[in-house]
Structure formats: C-alpha cells, structure tokens
Amino acid sequence: MTSLADFTATSLDGEEVDLARYDGQVALVVNTASECGFTPQYEGLEQLWRTYRDDGLVVLGFPCNQFAGQEPGDEAEIARFCTARFGVTFPLFAKVDVNGPDANPLWAWLTSGPDGVPAGDVEWNFTKFLIGADGRVVGRYRSRTEPAELAEVIEAELARAGDTLRERRTARG
C-alpha cells in the first residue's frame, strides 16, 4: 500500500524532507496560495494545527501556482507572507504542481483515487486531503470546506489512531 510515508518533499528553505517523519500521525495535506479568495483559510488551518498537534495531527501546506497564478512568490516570499499575515507555524513546502504531467508525486497519488477517495484533478487552491495515521486517505475536501468543518472527522481519526497505537503496544507486550 502506498502511503504518505513513501514520499519526500522540499521544505520552503530547500531541505529535502522524508514524509515518513509523519508516519503514525493524522495528516491534513492542503494545496495553498497567497493571493486566493480562500487564503484566509490559513488561519483555520493554523488553528487546527495548534489545537490537535499534541494529539497527533500534522497540517502540511503545499503552495501551488497552477490556479490563476495565485501563488506568484518564491519560497522566501511565501514564508514571509504566511508567517506575517497568518502566523503559520505548520510545515510548508516548496511550490508544487498538483495536476498534470509535472504533478508532484505525492499529489499524483492523492488525485489517483487511493483508498476509494474520489479521483480526479484538484479543482482549485485549498483542496484538502485527510490521511489517517495508518497511511490511508480518509477524505478529500473541496476548497469551500472551511478547516473548522473538519474538526469532527479529525477528532475521529485521532481517536482511531490512539486505539491503534494502544493495540500495537499491547501486542508488543
């Protein structure tokens, strides 16, 4: 089974990050943009991160310029904007393509319909994919879905992840 742990990504500061570091965590993967009508969702994503990170959630932001050129800045500009305007502290990565022949491998996998999640191109910025701690894609959410609307499903996945971790510990003795 392919999972988030099978991919790498480049951080905003150019470091190659093995996404296996998030193995066992619930991950919310989002394509972002600084000049989009949905850009204020950064605030809600940060709130989810701050609320649930100690419980095992990680929010992973992937800037993308494929939709009306709404992410024109370079990585340093993106970092400054996200920090200054929205106080973003969750991990952000270098700009990627999420669709087409140059799609980042992680995004090619996410849009391929893994685990029965609807396949197809990302339609716009701030599309969200929720990945369970077991690596399976739990859901795909459109741009209009506000981050706060995902709290219940995130809490359910975190609870399931906690149950799975307890079972693993018990099995190990």
Q: Say how far apart CA 57 and CA 131 lie, in whole Å.
A: 10
Contact partners, residue 85, CB within 8 Å, separation at least 6: 42
Please say if the pLDDT value at position 173 is more than 90: no
* Residues above pLDDT 70, as percent of the chain: 93
Q: Say how far apart CA 170 and CA 91 lie, in whole Å.
A: 32
Residue 168: pLDDT band with limits 50, 70, 90? very low
Domains contained in the chain, number: 1
* Helices of type H across 64-150: 75-86, 105-110
- Alpha carbon separation from 164 to 13, 55, 59, 74, 158 (Å, rounded): 34, 14, 21, 40, 10
User: Which position among 4, 33, 36, 110 bears the catalytic label?
Assistant: 36
Residue 162: pLDDT band with limits 50, 70, 90? confident
pLDDT in tens, 9-22: 999 999 999 999 99
Q: Say how far apart CA 135 and CA 46 lie, in whole Å.
A: 22
The answer to whether 8 and 19 have CB atoms below 8 angstroms apart is yes
Please say if the pLDDT value at position 137 is more than 50: yes
For the question of residue 36 being annotated catalytic, the response is yes
Tell which residue, 160, 147, 149, 121, has the closest CA to residue 24.
Answer: 160
Residue 40: give the domain boundaries: 4-172
* CATH number of 165's domain: 3.40.30.10
Model's pTM, two decimal places? 0.93
